[in-house]
Amino acid sequence: MSDDLGDFFALPPFKPDEALAQLRRQLKELKLQEQPGSAPHRFALKGVVVAELQVQADATKPAVAAAVVKRPLQRPEWVRQQLDSRDAVRKWIDAFKRQLAGWTDDD
């Protein structure tokens, strides 16, 4: 009986394609421009790429590779992460929103 309850409370499997679609939608809502035809999905703020997203097809665990710049510059330094759960996706987008607010306040 305890095995049945363990399955009942298990989180649904992470679907990186759905997470990628959600992240793309949220970044567009933040007024970022998606670069057309880019292999990793790139998003720009005022013409400078500030975020990249890509589904990791070769990973043993399904994930979204996410990268964000430390500061929006022409030659940025990237901070890369593997997003392999809904919680990780939510935390990444929340952190990105805070960082984006700091960049727009600097202008």
pLDDT by residue (tens digit) across 62-74? 899 999 999 888 7
- Domain edges within the chain: 14-106
Residue 5 vs residues 1, 46, 86: alpha-carbon distances, Å: 7, 50, 22
**Among 9, 2, 14, residue whose Cα is nearest residue 84:** 14
- Does residue 52 carry a pLDDT above 90? yes
For residues 50-75, average pLDDT? 88
- The secondary element (H helix, E strand) that includes residue 73 is none
Can you say how many angstroms the Cα of residue 64 is from the centroid of all Cα atoms in its chain? 7
**How would you classify the pairing of strands 48-56 and 63-69?**
antiparallel
Model pTM?
A: 0.78
Residue 40 is encoded by which pair of tokens?
């990793």
Can you say how many angstroms the Cα of residue 7 is from the centroid of all Cα atoms in its chain? 28
